[in-house]
């Protein structure tokens, strides 16, 4: 197995913390502080407006898009950064509905394991379009059977944010194509977590965020992938000036830019992109197959240890590592309090309503020792009911 001692050193980890929430917000890469500080001082400060040319800010969304693309099986020039994941979902869905051949179809197919914001954005788009589109939400294991000739677009998150259950992107995309539908994939819990092969799976669109496994920082920019076959045909819906063929001609009418560039909208968030760019350095030379191997080993170990030591916790994730992303959930009616107790002891995971405690395993900086230590603390909390205290039951704004 590959040794990740090198990458572990790239991240700051507070003393006494075992961080099993990198699937929600990745930790700080040491180099990001200096990178951002340097961009602010030497580029923004010294170059001022000239930074757009002299420091090549304007092309950052494409350059960084290519770096992300390498991790998700996207060819160079097919990914661009910008906005938030929710905005990118909207663009992908609006484009896909436009491109689907049979315009009479009205079903957007998703599942109840999709992240709610994706569903909300689809709802908002459907209301705007007011053309009778229906968002059909089935159980995750019913998706494949529900892909039929009524479906215009499938809109799925590859890895279920609560359970870690993994959809088979290749199989479901092929099924969508076989019935004449287009496939959109949300890679929020995939990018940097598992090997993804967008080109090989012939996905039509993909979107994702970069603050989880890619460690870009709180609210880091999102990405969108458009398959080369659609790149010059897709209508971006959110047609902003930086997606225009010639933004600085300041024409009064919109002409979409070439290929993926048309998915750009407004002025890119340069400071945030600098942090992300620094974070992506950790991935240089990393093979996602090595990440996957270690990720499965860590998750398997965690499951085995928790089941051995905490019998009241019920596994909420697939047991088979090949059917799972890089996270594990356990179910308990007092999940919220248990997670607060864990956090108070330095083991940071998170809680997903109504009853899941969720743990992310991130090979870049988490190893077997962390897993064992975390389970020992969890076992102490469970065995001695240490979670059963008022201060652990007080709900915070963000869970």
* Interface positions, 233-252, toward a second copy (CB under 8 A): 235-244, 248-252
* Residue found under tokens 């620094």: 278
302 annotated active-site: no
d(CA 255, CA 241): 9
Q: Which is nearer to a second copy, 175 or 352 (CB)?
A: 352
* Residue found under tokens 């890895």: 159
Question: Which residues line the annotated binding site for pyridoxal 5'-phosphate?
Answer: 85-86, 115-118, 157, 186, 189, 211, 241, 267
Kindly tell me which residue out of 3, 9, 12, 311 binds a second copy, with binding defined by CB under 8 A: 12
DSSP state of 324: B
Q: Of the listed 4, 211, 213, 336, which one is catalytic?
A: 211
320 annotated active-site: no
Size of the site for a second copy (CB under 8 A): 94
Question: Applying CB under 8 A, which part among 2-10, 128-136, 320-328, 375-383 lies near a second copy?
Answer: 128-136
- Residue 17 binds a second copy (CB under 8 A): yes
Kindly tell me which residue out of 102, 128, 229, 320 binds a second copy, with binding defined by CB under 8 A: 128
Q: Which is nearer to a second copy, 156 or 275 (CB)?
A: 275
H or E stretch covering 36: helix 30-38
Terminal C-alpha separation, the chain: 35
259-261-263-269 Cα dihedral, nearest 10 degrees: 160
Question: Applying CB under 8 A, which part among 113-121, 189-197, 314-322, 381-389 lies near a second copy?
Answer: 113-121
35 annotated active-site: no
- Residue 131 binds a second copy (CB under 8 A): yes
Cβ atoms of residues 207 and 184 within 8 Å: yes
- Residue 129 binds a second copy (CB under 8 A): yes
- DSSP for 243-303, please give it: GBSSGGG--SS--B-SGGGGG--S---HHHHHHHHHHHGGGTT--HHHHHHHHHHHHHHHH
d(CA 311, CA 18): 22
Cβ atoms of residues 208 and 83 within 8 Å: no
Q: Which is nearer to a second copy, 288 or 361 (CB)?
A: 361
- Residue 32 binds a second copy (CB under 8 A): yes
212 annotated active-site: yes
CB of 371: closest distance to a second copy in angstroms? Answer: 17
d(CA 168, CA 145): 13
List, in sequence order, the alpha helices (H) in 83-182: 85-99, 116-129, 143-146, 169-178
Q: Which is nearer to a second copy, 1 or 249 (CB)?
A: 249
Kindly tell me which residue out of 1, 130, 145, 391 binds a second copy, with binding defined by CB under 8 A: 130
- Residue 209 binds a second copy (CB under 8 A): yes
Q: Of the listed 67, 175, 352, 358, which one is catalytic?
A: 358
244-71-359-82 Cα dihedral, nearest 10 degrees: -10
Question: Applying CB under 8 A, which part among 22-30, 177-185, 191-199, 367-375 lies near a second copy?
Answer: 22-30
CB of 169: closest distance to a second copy in angstroms? Answer: 22
By CB under 8 A, the residues from 368 to 387 that bind a second copy are none
d(CA 316, CA 277): 34
186 annotated active-site: yes
Count of other CB atoms within 10 angstroms of residue 176: 26
- Residue 133 binds a second copy (CB under 8 A): no
* Residue found under tokens 């743990």: 359
- Residue 221 binds a second copy (CB under 8 A): yes
Q: Of the listed 212, 262, 294, 324, which one is catalytic?
A: 212
**Strand bridging mode 107-111 / 134-138:** parallel
Q: Which two tokens stand for residue 248?
A: 């600085």
d(CA 384, CA 371): 20
By CB under 8 A, the residues from 262 to 321 that bind a second copy are 265-273, 275
- Residue 127 binds a second copy (CB under 8 A): yes
d(CA 159, CA 184): 13
Kindly report the backbone phi and psi dihedral angles of residue 211, in degrees, each rounded to the nearest multiple of 5, phi listed first. -95, -5
Kindly tell me which residue out of 40, 171, 178, 373 binds a second copy, with binding defined by CB under 8 A: 40
By CB under 8 A, the residues from 345 to 364 that bind a second copy are 348, 350, 352-353
Q: Which is nearer to a second copy, 173 or 362 (CB)?
A: 362
d(CA 357, CA 315): 10
- Residue 84 binds a second copy (CB under 8 A): yes
Tell me which residues are annotated as active site. Answer: 115, 186, 211-212, 358
């Amino acid at each position: 197995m590959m040794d990740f001692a090198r990458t572990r050193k790239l991240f700051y980890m507070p003393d006494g913390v075992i961080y099993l929430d990198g699937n929600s917000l990745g930790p700080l890469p040491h180099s990001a502080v200096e990178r951002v500080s340097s961009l602010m001082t030497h580029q923004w400060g010294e170059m001022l407006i000239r930074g757009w040319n002299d420091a090549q800010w304007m092309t950052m969304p494409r350059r960084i898009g290519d770096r992300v693309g390498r991790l998700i099986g996207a060819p160079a020039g097919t990914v661009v950064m910008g906005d938030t994941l929710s905005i990118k979902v909207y663009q992908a869905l609006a484009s896909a509905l436009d491109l689907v051949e049979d315009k009479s179809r009205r079903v957007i197919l998703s599942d109840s394991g999709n992240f709610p914001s994706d569903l909300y954005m689809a709802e908002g788009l459907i209301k705007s379009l007011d053309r009778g589109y229906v968002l059909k939400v089935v159980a995750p294991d019913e998706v494949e059977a529900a892909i039929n000739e009524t479906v215009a677009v499938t809109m799925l998150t590859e890895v279920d944010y609560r359970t870690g259950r993994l959809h088979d992107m290749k199989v479901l995309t092929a099924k969508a194509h076989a019935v004449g539908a287009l496939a959109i994939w949300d890679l929020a819990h995939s990018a940097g977590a598992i090997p993804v092969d967008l080109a090989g799976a012939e996905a039509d669109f993909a979107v994702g965020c970069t603050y989880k496994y890619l460690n870009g920082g709180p609210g880091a920019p999102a990405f969108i992938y458009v398959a080369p076959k659609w790149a010059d045909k897709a209508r971006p819906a959110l047609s902003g000036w930086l997606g225009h063929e010639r933004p600085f001609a300041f024409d009064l009418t919109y002409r979409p830019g070439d290929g993926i560039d048309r998915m750009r909208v407004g002025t890119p968030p340069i400071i945030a992109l600098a942090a992300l760019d620094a974070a992506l350095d950790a991935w240089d030379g990393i093979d996602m197959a090595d990440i996957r191997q270690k990720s499965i080993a860590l998750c398997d170990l965690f499951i085995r240890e928790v089941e051995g030591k905490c019998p009241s916790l019920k596994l909420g994730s697939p047991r088979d590592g090949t059917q799972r992303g890089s996270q594990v959930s356990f179910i308990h009616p007092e999940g919220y309090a248990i997670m607060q107790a864990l956090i108070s002891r330095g083991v940071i995971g998170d809680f997903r309503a109504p009853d899941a405690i969720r743990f992310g395993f991130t090979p870049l900086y988490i190893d077997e020792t962390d897993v064992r230590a975390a389970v020992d603390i969890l076992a102490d909390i469970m065995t001695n009911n240490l979670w059963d205290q008022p201060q652990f039951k007080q709900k915070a704004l963000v869970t």
